[in-house]
Amino acid sequence: MADFIQVRGFEEAIRPPVRSKRARITDHGTVSSRSRADMAPRARLDRIARRVPEVMVKITGRTKDGGHLAAHLAYISRNSALPLEGPDGERLETRDAVKALATDWMAEVEADPRRRKDASVSLSIVLSMPPGTDPFRMHDASRAFASRTFGETHPYVFAFHTDERHPHVHLTVRTLGHDGRKLNPRKGELEQWRQTFAAVLRDRGVEAEATPRRARGVVRKPEVGAVRRMRERFDTGQGTPSKTDLGAVRAVTCP
């Protein structure tokens, strides 16, 4: 028989107080921390039903040469008024450092014997959430997303912007990977990126979801801006109809 007599409730007296769960602000693993419960169909349906904010992960463009890349990096860093963050906490805070990065990336790209003259140097991606999202957690989630998605394969830098109502990140990824493979994402990969971004936000206590358009009840694709502007000019008698509109008319009028 043990000498120590355990009194009911004694263990509660010596146990440290339980602190409320807080959003994590660091990301240590290369494996996603998504729990099975978090990604279960019932959990996702619940988030959709509650209209949890949807993440946005959008490819906004590509740079074609060193000058274009340097100009783009200067733009997203607001001419070095904002730091550019890279892997492992690297920070570029001066114009010279930003220019040096563009030069280094371009030198490695040009050294690739398989490179075509019209091949892109980098891919530009925007990560965004609706207004009201906690900027600190959004920033840390973007850092985790970039590390998980590109940390092992491609060099990248990103700038966090809070000058608009919704916090957003401009992420620039070099298309030439460390192993020589080119970054050329397909539709399925973009969907996976959205899922990853939503997951790292939830890991930090930010409600977020990345449901397909049809799951959200959105079946009509958004109108292309160029087509809309051509239609507006045509409606005012200042231009010709777009090929899209002409094709739609022919489909209806021709048997």
Q: Please write the tens of the pLDDT for every residue from 39-59.
A: 667 776 777 777 888 999 999
Q: How confident is the model at residue 6 (pLDDT cuts 50, 70, 90)?
A: very low
Orientation of helix 95-110 relative to helix 66-76, angle to 10°: 150
At residue 244's C-alpha, the angle toward residues 242 and 245, to 5°, is 70
Do the Cβ atoms of 90 and 147 come closer than 8 Å? no
pLDDT of the residue at 188: 87
Q: How confident is the model at residue 165 (pLDDT cuts 50, 70, 90)?
A: confident
Tell me, what amino acid is at 3?
A: D
Over residues 81-119, the pLDDT tens digits come to 999 999 988 999 999 999 999 999 999 999 998 888 889
Closest CA to 165 of 126, 208, 132: 132
Asked whether the predicted pLDDT for residue 163 surpasses 50, the reply is yes
pLDDT of the residue at 46: 75
What mean pLDDT do residues 206-222 have?
Answer: 66
Measured CA distances, 137 to 112, 197, 219 (Å): 38, 12, 31
Asked whether the predicted pLDDT for residue 29 surpasses 50, the reply is no
Separation of alpha carbons 51 and 45, rounded Å: 10
Cα torsion 153, 155, 160, 164: sign = negative
pTM, full prediction = 0.70
